[in-house]
Amino acid sequence: MKPEALLYSTPRGLYCERGDFYIDPVQPVERALITHGHADHARSGHAKVLATRETLDIMAIRYGETFCGEAQSIALGERLSINGVTVSFYPAGHVLGSAQIRVEAEGTRIVVSGDYKRRRDPTCAGFEPVPCDVFITEATFGLPVFHHPDDKDEIAKLLTSLRQFPERTHLVGAYALGKAQRVIALLREAGYHEPIFIHGALAKLCTYYQECGIPLGDLRPATIEGGDRQSFAGQIVIGPPAAFADRWARRFPDPLAIFASGWMLVRQRAKQRGVELPMIISDHCDWPELLATITEIAPSQVWVTHGREEALVRWCELQGIPARPLHLVGYEDEGD
Amino acid sequence: MHAFAELLDRLVLTPQRNAKIKLMADYFRSAPDPDRGYALASLAGTLTLSTVKPQLLKQLVLERMDEVLFQYSYDYVGDLAETISLVWEPAGDGTLEPIDLSLGAIVRKLQSASRADVHGVVRTLLDQLDGSSRFAFLKLITGGMRIGVSARLVKQALADMGGVDVVEIETLWHGLEPPYLDLFRWLEGKSEKPSLSMPAVFHSVMLATPLAESDVAALDPADFAAEWKWDGIRVQFANLAGTRRLYSRSGDDISGAFPDILDAATFEGIIDGELLVGGTMRSNRATRSFSDLQQRLNRKTVTRKMLEEYPAFIRGYDLLFAGEEDIRGRNFVERRERLEAVIDASPPDRFDLSPLVPFSSWEELDSLRRAPPDPVIEGIMLKRLDSPYTAGRMKGPWFKWKRDPYNVDAVLMYAQRGHGKRSSYYSDFTFGVWTDKDGADALVPVGKAYFGFTDAELEILDRYVRENTIERFGPVRSLRAEPDHGFVVEVAFEGINFSTRHKSGVAMRFPRIARLRQDKLPREADRLETLTAMIAAPEPP
């Protein structure tokens, strides 16, 4: 069958009419397949949800146990039939539990990548290329400017700064799901074993990662005990980026603003946000990785979604690969 | 190169002065010679590289990249050097012949490259440098660091590194050259302080800080000498061991344009003074205005006619060297006595003395300041009688007490986007005032200003521009400016003169936007006649 008939975009999200289910819908629906736990992809209020065990756990942590009517977990690689449409999940390398979803019917195979990356990440399973006819790729960093550096060098920048400015609190902004844990794990790999202080919004998710067997070392709440502000001098404090503009950040002595994000590659971006030390660490593909992935999977068509569709579509055209933007609404990049 | 690139990346984003100093001092401590010397030169603005045109860079990048994709990228990033540093895909696959990528090697390579080679050299370097280094390299060759670091701050970092006073660095500075090997050796305690081999080099000038109302109460008039602040340009004139040099305040050699002064010198030594045109006090002819002086500035050579029409002279303020004797350590009174003797013996049409202004109270001096005896005076200088001549701008020994600025209300007419961190803002404004044109009122542009406002005010101005554009000419937007609809700003400026180069016939000096006057309608803004009336007036209204 024609791929456009198997999956198409609707105001509620990407819809499979034959199987009567949505993938990462932005509004409550009867049946939803969820790629990963970031809030713009995983919303509460669906009747039925199908996702990996970890994604379901993360949704329960974020929204409470009653986040949906009926939750069903699916193992990676397991094939399941929904109204005659076969669905299967494969690792996407984005955050813990993240998956690509393959949808098949009458010999037509579409892979919805969700958000994905190709770099090694100590906190989740690596991306697996899956053969398909249509590859739906994200394009968060879909511009030739994006070349993410080695994350080891970015972590080294933070450690150097700690030595240079031992009197300042190193305040790291990192998204609560995925990025924060990855930064912590990378710091541990780099030999940093001091306690790391975390904002309350990170606590449950960090505990969950540790329960899943991902060691994060000594984590402590970033609260002032006994009113000694100075105890944070020279320490690493990690919190969600939004908390930095908050009064919360004022409790720390002479804070040095750091932000771990792929956007930090562009200096003006960092400057506009008042970031002093940008750490270019992304949970998405950079431009060369997007191109390499499309080349490797070699689908007969590419559909491009959330991000900078036009550049990636242009590149596909130059390569002779049929491509079109898939205008999905409602996705911000929580986990960039 | 990588360490230098990292330093630049940090400096761009670090707002605190002390943190910047620390970053630079740490870099100078850890980087090898001659890399750190070239880094120092590039930060302090003393590195001379023939710059590469943006057009060439664009050509290089388009050799490898689809133009549409480049345009998407450039639109997103906004800065050409940064865009290229980010999109550059090294050709080849690790088979490139490795070359020395240290900053020193790169600078030498660029300095020795012929015009025809530049293309290839730049391409090879872009291929081999990492992303961050590419950015630093492109900034280096396009000649605009714009990273919020002044030469003074760099010198402070050097002082911190070596544990010496910044005055010592300033004193030495102009006798040294990139890559500053002797300087670093001394700062690391490995050798004696470098000595200046040629005495006629420029010596950093002593600068004054503005006098605030609050300072006055704490100062005793008996401790200070006062003299007029003349409206020319500050210069240093050296005549030692057969070498004559005239330097601008920042150390640029401007000797070529002033043979009249060079030839007239009869003394040996170095004097600090004001360069002016017209008659000296000793010749009893009037000193002429700054706009007359401008006829002689920014020229490499000068015609006989210019020399006759705009004769230049130096009005002496201070004496740094008497013959070869360095007298900067003596106090002001002693130096002044020696200066008087030097000027007395010099040709009276080329050298005179800036007279002291006797006063006994600050009130008395203030009233003299408000009604100076000569239109070429722009305020008063206060110098502590016991102060030595120290390089740089330190608060305490010297103060400048300027005339109050002039003010007019003007209407915004055109706006242009700024550069660097202001590249997303309309921050350069052309403003105008009303004049009669064929019997009707019309706005005529009288100046441009791109500072004076706060960040919050810039947001307001930028929004006004975006919402009130009536026409675009390339990067310039023409704004709605009618008697009852437009944006009025209060413009402050230091002086105003007739000008044949401007349509309005007047030119302002140092204009800036002092206040936004959203409470005023354009019809209430000032008229050109108000401005021309200020030209004759010695005192602002």
pLDDT digits (tens, 9 = 90+) for B421-463: 566 688 899 999 999 988 889 999 999 998 889 888 999 999 9
Q: What is the chain B residue with the closest CA to A310? A: B72
Q: What's the domain range around B465?
A: 406-536
How far A143 CA sits from the closest chain B CA (Å)? 6
| Span B406-411, average pLDDT | 92
Same domain, B299 and B441: no
Instruction: Kindly indicate the confidence band of residue A335, based on its pLDDT and cuts at 50, 70 and 90.
Output: very low
In this predicted structure, what is the pLDDT of residue A188?
98
How far B135 CA sits from the closest chain A CA (Å)? 10
* Bond prior to B179 in cis (omega within 30° of 0): yes
B27 contacts B36 by C-beta, under 8 angstroms: yes
Q: Least CB-CB distance to B13: which of A164, A275, A314? A: A275
CB–CB contact A308 B12 (8 Å): no
Same domain, B307 and B394: yes
Q: What is the chain B residue with the closest CA to A309? A: B72
The residue of B9, B29, B69 whose CB has the most chain A CBs within 10 angstroms, and thus the best one to mutate to test that interface, is B69
* Bond prior to B34 in cis (omega within 30° of 0): yes
| Span B160-172, average pLDDT | 87
How far A25 CA sits from the closest chain B CA (Å)? 29
Q: Is residue B369 part of a domain?
A: yes
In this predicted structure, what is the pLDDT of residue B541?
40
CA distances, B304 to each of A284, B76, B254, B317, B349 (Å): 69, 54, 17, 28, 17
How far A329 CA sits from the closest chain B CA (Å)? 21
Cα(B130)–Cα(B86) distance, rounded to whole angstroms? 10
With pLDDT > 90 as the criterion, what percentage of chain B qualifies? 56
| Span B111-120, average pLDDT | 87
CA distances, A175 to each of A244, A281, B5, B36 (Å): 12, 11, 28, 38
- Is residue B86 less than 8 Å (CB to CB) from chain A? yes
Instruction: Kindly indicate the confidence band of residue A330, based on its pLDDT and cuts at 50, 70 and 90.
Output: low
- Is residue B164 less than 8 Å (CB to CB) from chain A? no
Q: Least CB-CB distance to B83: which of A145, A157, A308? A: A145
The residue of B17, B64, B77, B462 whose CB has the most chain A CBs within 10 angstroms, and thus the best one to mutate to test that interface, is B77
B408 contacts B520 by C-beta, under 8 angstroms: no
CB–CB contact B72 A311 (8 Å): yes
CB–CB contact A266 B73 (8 Å): no
> Which residue segments constitute the domains of chain A, with CATH numbers given?
3-145+284-325 (3.60.15.10), 151-279 (3.40.50)
Positive or negative, the CA dihedral A208, A211, A217, A223 is positive
How far A167 CA sits from the closest chain B CA (Å)? 11
Q: What is the 8-class DSSP label of residue B256?
A: G
CB–CB contact A143 B76 (8 Å): yes
Rounded to 5 degrees, φ, ψ at B228 are -70, 150
- Among B26, B351, B56, B317, CA closest to B158: B26
B46 contacts B252 by C-beta, under 8 angstroms: no
B47 contacts B107 by C-beta, under 8 angstroms: yes
Q: Is residue B152 part of a domain?
A: no
Residue B107 has pLDDT above 50, yes or no: yes
How far B517 CA sits from the closest chain A CA (Å)? 27
Q: Is residue B39 part of a domain?
A: yes
CA–chain centroid gap for B533, Å, is 30
CB proximity under 8 Å: B 127-146 to A: 130-132, 135
CA distances, A294 to each of A13, A319, B66, B465 (Å): 23, 11, 18, 43
Same domain, B448 and B377: no
The SS3 call for residue B49 is coil
Give the tokens for residue B170: 């300033």
In this predicted structure, what is the pLDDT of residue A201?
92
- Is residue B72 less than 8 Å (CB to CB) from chain A? yes
Same domain, B16 and B75: yes
CB–CB contact B13 A315 (8 Å): no
Same domain, B369 and B391: yes
Residues in chain A: 336
- Is residue B6 less than 8 Å (CB to CB) from chain A? yes
Same domain, B43 and B117: yes
Cα(B59)–Cα(B118) distance, rounded to whole angstroms? 13
Residues with Cβ within 8 Å of residue A125, at least 6 apart in sequence: A76, A91, A93
Please identify which residue in the block is written with the tokens 């005023």. Answer: B520
| Span A114-134, average pLDDT | 97
Q: Least CB-CB distance to A145: which of B26, B66, B76? A: B76
Same domain, B423 and B381: no
- Digit-coded pLDDT (tens) for B274-291: 999 999 988 888 999 888
Which residues in chain B touch residue A288, judged by CB atoms under 8 angstroms apart? 89
Same domain, B340 and B416: no
- Digit-coded pLDDT (tens) for B202-260: 888 999 988 877 788 889 999 999 999 998 999 999 998 888 989 988 777 888 899 99
- Is residue B10 less than 8 Å (CB to CB) from chain A? yes
CB–CB contact A147 B86 (8 Å): yes
- Count CA atoms closer than 13 A to B61's CA, side-chain side: 26
Instruction: Kindly indicate the confidence band of residue B1, based on its pLDDT and cuts at 50, 70 and 90.
Output: very high
**Across-strand partners of A257?**
A171
E strand or H helix at B10, and its extent?
Answer: helix B2-13
Which residues in chain B touch residue A276, judged by CB atoms under 8 angstroms apart? 10, 13-15, 19
Which residues in chain A touch residue B70, judged by CB atoms under 8 angstroms apart? 144
Q: Least CB-CB distance to B26: which of A164, A267, A311? A: A164
Count of beta carbons in the 10 Å neighbourhood of residue B474: 6
Q: Is residue B135 part of a domain?
A: yes
B391-429 burial, b at 16+ Cβ within 10 Å, e below that, comes to: bbeeeebbbebebebbbbbbbbbbbbbbeebbeebbbbb
In this predicted structure, what is the pLDDT of residue B282?
87
| Span A241-262, average pLDDT | 82
Boundary-marking domain end, from B343, B371, B402: B402
Please identify which residue in the block is written with the tokens 């994006």. Answer: A146
How far B6 CA sits from the closest chain A CA (Å)? 9
Q: Least CB-CB distance to B77: which of A145, A164, A270? A: A145
The SS3 call for residue B383 is strand
- Digit-coded pLDDT (tens) for B31-69: 999 999 999 999 988 888 877 888 889 999 999 999 999
Q: What is the chain B residue with the closest CA to A256? A: B14
Q: Is residue B235 part of a domain?
A: yes
E strand or H helix at B71, and its extent?
Answer: helix B67-77
Residue A161 has pLDDT above 90, yes or no: yes
- Among A289, A239, A254, CA closest to A137: A289
The SS3 call for residue A142 is coil
Cα(A204)–Cα(A49) distance, rounded to whole angstroms? 22
Which residues in chain B touch residue A147, judged by CB atoms under 8 angstroms apart? 86, 131
In this predicted structure, what is the pLDDT of residue A273?
77
| Span B465-489, average pLDDT | 89
Residue B92 has pLDDT above 80, yes or no: no
Range with the largest mean pLDDT of A177-191, A314-328, B174-188, B246-260? A177-191
Q: What is the mean pLDDT of chain B?
A: 89
Same domain, B393 and B467: no
pTM (two decimals):
0.71
Residue B469 has pLDDT above 50, yes or no: yes
The A-side interface with B (CB below 8 A) comprises: 143-147, 149, 157, 164-165, 265-268, 270-271, 275-278, 288, 308, 310-311, 314-315, 318
Residues with Cβ within 8 Å of residue B114, at least 6 apart in sequence: none
Positive or negative, the CA dihedral B185, B187, B191, B193 is positive
The SS3 call for residue B50 is coil
In this predicted structure, what is the pLDDT of residue B145?
72
Range with the largest mean pLDDT of A291-305, B117-131, B280-294? A291-305
- Helix ranges restricted to H, B143-209: 151-162, 166-173, 181-187
Give the CATH number for residue B299: 3.30.470.30
- Is residue B424 less than 8 Å (CB to CB) from chain A? yes
CB–CB contact B76 A277 (8 Å): no
How far A157 CA sits from the closest chain B CA (Å)? 9
Axis-axis angle for helices B151-162, B166-173 (nearest 10): 120
Boundary-marking domain end, from B402, B433, B459: B402
Which residues in chain A touch residue B422, judged by CB atoms under 8 angstroms apart? none
- Is residue B70 less than 8 Å (CB to CB) from chain A? yes
In this predicted structure, what is the pLDDT of residue B224?
96
Say how many domains are in chain B. 3
Give the tokens for residue B331: 């106090």
Count of beta carbons in the 10 Å neighbourhood of residue A324: 14
Q: Least CB-CB distance to B13: which of A143, A145, A276? A: A276
Which residues in chain B touch residue A278, judged by CB atoms under 8 angstroms apart? 13
Rounded to 5 degrees, φ, ψ at B168 are -65, -40
Give the CATH number for residue B430: 2.40.50.140
How far A277 CA sits from the closest chain B CA (Å)? 7
CA distances, B79 to each of A147, B82, B83, B422, B431 (Å): 17, 5, 6, 11, 27
| Span A298-306, average pLDDT | 94
Cα(B488)–Cα(B411) distance, rounded to whole angstroms? 5
**Across-strand partners of A82?**
A85
Residue A64 has pLDDT above 80, yes or no: yes
Residues with Cβ within 8 Å of residue B410, at least 6 apart in sequence: B431, B432, B433, B446, B447, B488, B489, B490, B491, B525, B526
Which residues in chain A touch residue B6, judged by CB atoms under 8 angstroms apart? 157
Same domain, B412 and B376: no
> What is the DSSP annotation of B216-238?
HTT--GGGEEEEEEESSEEEEEE
Same domain, B251 and B347: yes
> What is the DSSP annotation of A276-320?
SEEE---SS--HHHHHHHHHHH--SEEEEEEE-HHHHHHHHHHHT
Instruction: Kindly indicate the confidence band of residue B540, based on its pLDDT and cuts at 50, 70 and 90.
Output: very low
CB–CB contact A145 B73 (8 Å): yes
Q: Is residue B67 part of a domain?
A: yes
Instruction: Kindly indicate the confidence band of residue A245, based on its pLDDT and cuts at 50, 70 and 90.
Output: low
Boundary-marking domain end, from B377, B402, B427: B402
| Span B401-425, average pLDDT | 81
Residue A329 has pLDDT above 70, yes or no: no
Q: What is the chain B residue with the closest CA to A272? A: B421
Give the tokens for residue B168: 């010592």
Which residues in chain B touch residue A271, judged by CB atoms under 8 angstroms apart? 12-13, 421
C-alpha triplet A147, A153, A157: angle, nearest 5°: 115
Same domain, B389 and B261: yes
Give the tokens for residue A126: 């690596």
Q: Is residue B174 part of a domain?
A: no
Residue B539 has pLDDT above 50, yes or no: no
| B121 Rama class: left (phi>0) / alpha (psi -120 to 50) / beta | alpha
- Is residue B80 less than 8 Å (CB to CB) from chain A? no
User: What ipTM did this prediction achieve?
Assistant: 0.91
More confident residue, B131 or B236: B236
Q: Is residue B452 part of a domain?
A: yes
